[in-house]
Structure 1
């Protein structure tokens, strides 16, 4: 080959390479061009341009009339043009009325996934009121809508269908004496990569769901960072709504926005999966440094029960540069969606696909938070979420065909089931009738007593009783707002004795001279009606000398106020650190621990179902004038599992630093979660310092890790509160520390019960007392009552906690036998 020919080939190669490079750069700018692309502005006389797309009027010659089959041609227009939406108002000024069974039949060039979007704007017309329309829609034998009646606002219903034939038929069927309508319609093919052929289900665990043979309905498309994304900014003309209104605790996240750092070449996602506008914004878990924050950031979405759902999660680290790799877990309804999301490459977009079945609770909760590694700081971010309903085995997406409803409303019940149901209904009715009479008589009697009690009188007219959020049995605790203002000198700032996430606590004096603590919920900080209700229900249900006593409440004028006994010495936390109060002795600390353990043990065992406190911490242990400890603040408390269950599945709530890691990871709550938190409190008591203290060297910031490391090295005395060094005794210290360590076992089954903790604490106290004085052989002999107390009686917990009897003497004989 000559040199001339070689040069010519080289030039051609360079030109071809240059052309290909230019095409690679230009093609993304052209956007996505679907093979099938049908955009219709129904009832319009003119084509409509929206962004780079043209919606064809279905009344012009350009529209293929064979596409639509309908008995009558009825076109209507809106009386006004005030409608607004992400598509603007122009699509919603006209509509086509479909009086009888009608269908759109679209030729399909490319088999595969297609988006189908119906636009409904139920405006009022002089002849046809679109709000009264009732109709059904189906496609490819899938039921999309059944006897639907549009609401009052614009609604876009989006479906994803895997078309396997050469045409797609959309059927509209009006109900009897009604009609169907449509403002606009989109049908276009989408990239094959958009949906996987199968997804792994996390509920039922490990099963695979095949998507290719199902239809999907878009339920939610959320963009994190509280930024909306319009169809004009999405490659596939999708609409993404801001996330903040779906957040359980918006104060936990930091909103990020940084489009410049997103780099699709580094990640597994593409711009078809989600646009730059989604990966360039994020909500990042950002707990405050006060140690009171919830650990997980959670978004909650309403869904229809009785269906399976395809959930897609989008991630891209757009945070400021940080040498630490962001690793976190993602939970979907208390189950792992991903145990370890690793965003090791900044700006690299990735996504995760999971599936779940929603049986009864109509919610999908998505949480991000710390992995199971205790040393990691809570972190994580989320860029976007897509939730799509999967058609069921009846090939339906409509709620009327929910598998739950199908089970409960079946008309094919066997006769014997109907007979049993009827008899059961009669029995239930008789029981309810008896209960109503019984409650009525009891309330009548209670009201007679009630009128003689000045402070428990309910002021105002009868309607105040009807509007109260509590049952009549709680009415004897209801205080008028005027009396509470009087008791607190109109909520004087000088009477504030505490401030927390709920608001402020005031010291008050009732008319009979009783000193009380008045906990007033703040409208700015908002403790929440549910927590207010929970605390009152819990406090009024139980009476125990180591649980703070409930006196009353007020729910007038949108106030959320709880009144309970005044505890002169405030919180345990203030006596351990952060104040100038006198330091507690080791004996006082042990007795406070024992009292608190008794209160928690009673909660766990004093009724048919355990009560789990869920927020055990030193700030929630109060001390009276004699330093008697009482557990307080039941706003987050939860009833424990049934006898045949091991746990309660619930969103993570509590205080940072005290949270049970097992509960944090699995969102499965048990009494052992309280045991873990109590173990942390025991370390606080031992060391006299905060659970998390960022001012200390790194290895000492986390109290639990610091104590456990010191214990392993045999250097426990080095981290003990210096005020205790001359008072504490080695045997008592070792017993106390061993008990606390057992409480902090990683797995709940390895932790002791509160009853076991209580026995060990009493033992540690007795060891301390025996080290302080010579043992006397007459102690136990002179007190036979204590030695005859059975283990069964103690473990069950009597109502008055053994009438205030100390368990110390129970241990006297045991300790002496060891000494001997």
Structure 2
């Protein structure tokens, strides 16, 4: 059964916020004065910043595109984009939230797309997209173009005129959205062959040769450009690729010539070889070729492209459950045991349609780590061994080692969790290697250090308060994602400094998912096995085996207190929780702030109070991670919560005169082993 091709329901059911006009001061506030650290892209129009705006009572993550004075685009493209996206609303078109036109400033504000552009995903050494995910992205983009061409619901259709992989954005669910309408042209919908005579504009590599030669722009010019995108997705090469022979830098010509020479299977992206059902491979290449036909009238419409892609997806999904990939277990690979062979199968297939988990040979691991050089070793309390390295293609990676059968289950669990989601503040699985009886996991990231390697080193002065705040906020945001927005709800179970990796800009990545648990119940589950790290486990989990998102909140609270004080959770004559609580009650917090940071006491008090709210004994009164983020960014007041916490603290101290059960529970939770 095909996916629906009617777009009326999609369009009418999609309700993005209405377009509004922003003041320049609002834009400055949203981007922290156009902070360079917030730049997420650059294009012909100018820089694109990630920002946060207030929409009623809601905070929205947005992408803010600012026109630069050196840009070859200007007011014409700016107003074309505003006018076009103000009228057109569809689930596969990026939503324009608003704009700013003040003085010489021309700024566009869009919904933020967490997964970036299709171009980045295909060409910038990111974890490779699976074949099924690529198909779904192509279908989404094709639906967006089909809507523009014929289904806008108005008298005219729209020719995009700059279809390319960098103008296909991906939201947090990998839904494709067409963007950048600055070059778009309006044409009548009831005359499919109608063309617009215009100056030739677009991007080399995607330009329709007929349009380039005649200046006649038709819907089929978009179809041609989309055909180039299809070959990008298929081959993993850029539209203009200088790694190809000089005479064939254009991907379109190279792909067509290669197919004509019978080399179809050789031009498939190496990450996909052996993973595509042969009939799907041929049908996809044939459809892409039809889009590139020299005669525009012979090219399919976008409606036909959507239908063709949907039929390929249905066929691939039908065969995925029974078809065996072609290169599992090469003949020269010796598995040390039956169990390792089972693990090999598991890791190779665990990604499903969500992620390609690549299989690396041991020589690649040796090369990347310079034969496991001590200089590349990263100290870690979580992993048996951890190394940073670099693949031959220049990609920086992290490698963790598992040598014992008792750790294989953690390895499998980590892999099964990481293939289900992706977040900028979480480590990303790239692949694995099995050599003799050792297993290795490879991650798409090379850390500069772990948080505990810096924060607890008294001689280290690299972490000023702004950096620490960035780390705290990054970890909080990934926990919000895991608890509320990931495809499955995930409880990390081991949030602590050695599991927070930092790059050279000190951006944090949460790692250590070997103990993570997926749950369907929002209120939590009971577990038989208690796993975690000394000093970070919530009392209800450590003592009673009750696991919920509030257990991660507790661990995060300990982390916040450590970051502010510079003290380990259990190195201050007890626990950091009781250490901070005592000074908070006595009004002596200034005595326990890490002397390496020089920040106003009021601000530090706020952060320590956030930490204390998170480590309250009663899970029910701890904030959620969403509430914690609101507190950290200043959109939620702490006053009421803190006063309630003080009242509970007074009551607990009164009850403690008759019983010290609470202190005993805290003490036990600190001593429960990993």
**TM-score, structure 1 as length reference:** 0.36
Give the number of the structure whose alpha-carbon radius of gyration is greater.
Answer: 1
**TM-score, structure 2 as length reference:** 0.44
Q: Return the structure number with greater strand share.
A: 1
